[in-house]
Amino acid sequence: MREVRHTILRLLGDHYRIPEGTHRSWQGCNLDLTGVTIDGVMDFHGVVFSKGSVSFEGATFSGPAVYFLGAWFSGGEVAFSHATFDGGTVVFIDARFSGGEVAFNRARFNGGTVSFDDATGPIPSGLLDSVSATTAAGTVTLPSSWQIPNP
């Protein structure tokens, strides 16, 4: 089953990179990955979330790597609420947050590395609260404009 899950995740990334309106594009489609375990490489680099709803709610990201490198969150809804980042690397480097709703409410960062370096746009909802509530080992890096203010 693990190999099937990894193949499905690879195909999802492939279809979300195809420009909207062209054959085989899934941009704008609803995608429900609620509670899924992502324990392989998931390559969503350069994907565009411009419409629809994508849920990673309650998902577990346990490595080795998930790439949202250069992803564009420009509309629709993308939820990482209640997701657990347990290990490996999750990369949002150069991601653009320019519209829609991206939520990290009550996400847990228990280990590994999550990087938002050079991301632009408004801070996804719940992200700062989730990062500040993290007590386990792990690293979350944010652009300087998103830093948690000192009390």
pLDDT digits 0-9 by tens, 105-125? 999 988 888 999 999 999 999
Facing residues of 141 across strands? 115
* Cβ proximity of 44 and 18 under 8 Å: no
* Rounded mean pLDDT, 122-136: 85
Of 139, 140, 129, give the one whose Cα is nearest residue 82. Answer: 129
**What are 116's two structure tokens?**
């938002």
Of 95, 33, 36, give the one whose Cα is nearest residue 67. Answer: 95
Least confident of 9-23, 29-43, 59-73, 117-131: 9-23
H or E element, residue 10: helix 2-17
Residue 118 has, within 13 A of its CA and on its CB side, a CA count of 7
Looking at residue 6, its pLDDT comes to 75
Give the count of beta carbons closer than 10 Å to the beta carbon of residue 92.
Answer: 27
Local structure of 82: helix, strand or coil? coil
Where exactly are the structural domains of the chain? Answer: 2-146
pTM, to two decimals: 0.84
C-alpha–C-alpha distance, residues 107 and 52, integer Å: 21
Give the count of beta carbons closer than 10 Å to the beta carbon of residue 8.
Answer: 12
* Rounded mean pLDDT, 10-14: 73
pLDDT digits 0-9 by tens, 63-81? 799 999 999 998 889 999 9
Looking at residue 136, its pLDDT comes to 62
C-alpha–C-alpha distance, residues 73 and 75, integer Å: 6
